[in-house]
Amino acid sequence: MTACAIEGGSAGAAATADPEAEPEPEEPGGPAEADGSGLLPESIADEETAEAEEAEASSTEGDARPNADGVPADDAPLPRGFTLTADGAYAARLTAAPGPPGERAWYPERWTLDGPEPYAVPLPLDQPEEPDSEVAPLADGRVLIRRRVADRQMFSLLYPTGPGTGELLLGAVGCAEMTLLPPSPDGRSVYALAAGEDHASLWLVAGGAFGPEEVARIPGRCSGGVWLDRAGRMLALDRQEPGGGPVKAVAVDLGRQGEVTPLLQIAPGSADRLLLADPDSGLLLIRSDAPGHDRLGWGVLGSCLPVRFPECLRLADVAVTPFAVQPGQMLMPESCAVALRIDGAPGSWVGVWRPAGRQLHQFAAPLGWVPGAGCWSRDGVLRLPYANGATPCGVALLDAPVDVEPSSVTGRTGDGEGGGEPSAADAAPVVCKPVPLGQAPLHGAARPD
C-alpha cells in the first residue's frame, strides 16, 4: 500500500494503511451511564423521556410527534441537520412551528452558544421555508440560507432586527442541486458544492465581493468537504475520477485557483474518504476499505507512519461516525479527544475516544440531541446541543474521560471500564509527529488485517 505525498508542499498525505497490530478493548454496542455532566444516564432516560413528552404534549398540542429518529410522524421531509461555526460560538438549523400534521411551517433558528447560557433566536420570514433548504451560521451571528427555486439556488443572509427578521439577498446560481459545505474556519465565508457527472463546481456563496462566484472546477464526481487549515484555504473533498475508479480524498488549494493534489492514497484500489481533520495537531479521521472491508481509521497529515484502524472502533451492529475533534493539541495528535456518533437499534448515542487511549467510552445522549452535533473546547469538554419539550435550547457538557492505562503485566485495564475485552498492548503507543508537508514517504509496508 502506498501513500502519495502532496506535490508543491501544499498539503501532506496520510501514510500507509496499517490495521492495529495488537487487539484493543472493544465495548458492547450500547451506551454506558454518564457521570453527571449533563448527559442522561440510560438508567433514567425512560423517566426523563416521559416527563419531556408530557411537557411537549401540553405545549404543542396538535403538532406532529417526532419518532425516535427525530422524523415527524406525518412523514414530512426532515431538514438537513444542525450546523455550527468552526469555533462553536453559533449554530443554525431549520425548525418547525406547531401546526396540524402535514402542514408544518419550517423556519430558520440561530443558536448562541458562547455566552453564559445558550439561547435560540427564531428567524422567520413572511412565508415558511421548504424543508430541503439549508442554513449555515457565520461568526458575526448572521445565518446563510440556501433555497431551491425551480432550477436555481437562491442565497440570502438572515439576521434579527428587533421583533422581525432582516434579509440580505446575495444572489442566485443556475444549478439544480447544490450542497453547503461546513462553514469556513475564517468565520466569514461559506462555500457550496455543485456535483456533476464529470466535474464539480465549487462556489463561494457568502463572503465574496460580488455575490456567489465560482472559484474552482474539479474534474470528477465530488462529495464530502473537510477544512484542513485555520485560514480556510485548504479544502479536502472525496473525488472519483471522471473515468470511474475508487473514491480518493484530494486537497483543493483555494489560494491557487482550486489546484487539486492527492491527499489519501492508502492502496491503489481502495476507497479512501476523509471524515474529519484537526488543523492544530494534524489528526485525520478516515474511512477506507483498504483493510479488506470498510473501516474507520486515523492518521496524521504529513506523517511517516501508516493509517491505523483501531479494533475498539469496530462495533457489531452499529455505525460509528466521528463528528468533532478536540482542538489546540499542537503536534499531539494521539492526545486529541474525538467525539463519535454511534447509531444502532436503540437509537443514537455518544462515543469518546483518543488514539493513544485505545478505549471507546460510550454515553447516553441528552434527550433531543441532534445526532452528530457538537464541539470540543480546548480543555477537553464536549458540548452537545439539544432541544426538547422541557428545554427549547440547551447544551449538555461532558468532560473527556480519562483512559485507563493497561497493566504492563496482564494487559488489562485497572478497573475494566466499559466492559471491553482486555488489551494485549504492553507498551505505550509511539508518538506520531507530523513531518514537513510534502515530505511524506511514497511507499510503506502494510500488514493484513
- Tell me: the pLDDT tens digits for 384-400? 999 998 999 999 999 99
pLDDT at 4 exceeding the cut of 90: no
Task: Please tell me whether residue 8 adopts helix, strand or coil conformation.
Answer: helix
Q: What is the pLDDT of residue 101?
A: 64
23 or 291: which leads in pLDDT: 291
CA 139, 143, 148, 153 torsion: positive or negative? negative
Distances (CA, A) of 283 to 14, 72, 277, 384: 9, 37, 6, 21
Continuous segment of H or E residues that includes residue 288: strand 283-288
pLDDT at 441 exceeding the cut of 90: no
Continuous segment of H or E residues that includes residue 168: strand 164-173
Q: What is the pLDDT of residue 129?
A: 93
Give the separation between CA 91 and CA 113, rounded to whole angstroms. Answer: 7
Residue with cell 447560557: 117
Q: What is the pLDDT of residue 52?
A: 43
Average pLDDT, integer, range 204-217? 93
User: Taking CA 318 as the corner, what is the angle to CA 395 and CA 279, rounded to the nearest 5 degrees?
Assistant: 55
pLDDT at 235 exceeding the cut of 70: yes
pLDDT at 73 exceeding the cut of 60: no
β partners of residue 97: 105
Distances (CA, A) of 284 to 184, 258, 303: 18, 21, 10
Give the separation between CA 343 and CA 354, rounded to whole angstroms. Answer: 19
107 or 6: which leads in pLDDT: 107
pLDDT at 189 exceeding the cut of 90: yes
Q: Give me the phi and psi of 408, to 5 degrees please.
A: -70, -15
Continuous segment of H or E residues that includes residue 108: strand 105-112
Q: What is the pLDDT of residue 296?
A: 96
Cell of 64: 406532529
CA-based nearest residue to 153, from 208, 207, 203, 104 = 203
| Range with the poorest average pLDDT among 26-35, 271-280, 400-409 | 26-35
Cell of 8: 508543491
Continuous segment of H or E residues that includes residue 42: helix 42-59
Average pLDDT, integer, range 421-433? 30
pTM (2 d.p.): 0.77
Give the separation between CA 407 and CA 409, rounded to whole angstroms. Answer: 5
Residue with cell 484502524: 309
Strands 105-112 and 119-122, sheet pairing: antiparallel
Q: What is the pLDDT of residue 424?
A: 29
Tell me the average pLDDT of the chain: 78
β partners of residue 312: none
β partners of residue 202: 193, 216
pLDDT at 8 exceeding the cut of 60: no
Indicate the CATH number for domain 7-419: 2.130.10.10
Q: What is the pLDDT of residue 79?
A: 60
Strands 105-112 and 295-300, sheet pairing: unpaired
Tens of pLDDT along 123-177?
A: 999 999 998 999 999 999 999 999 999 989 999 999 999 889 999 999 999 998 9
Residue type, 397: L
Cα 386 from chain centroid (whole Å): 16
User: Taking CA 416 as the corner, what is the angle to CA 374 and CA 401, rounded to the nearest 5 degrees?
Assistant: 25
**pLDDT above 70: percentage of residues in the chain:** 72
* Residue 100 binned pLDDT confidence (cut-offs 50, 70, 90): confident
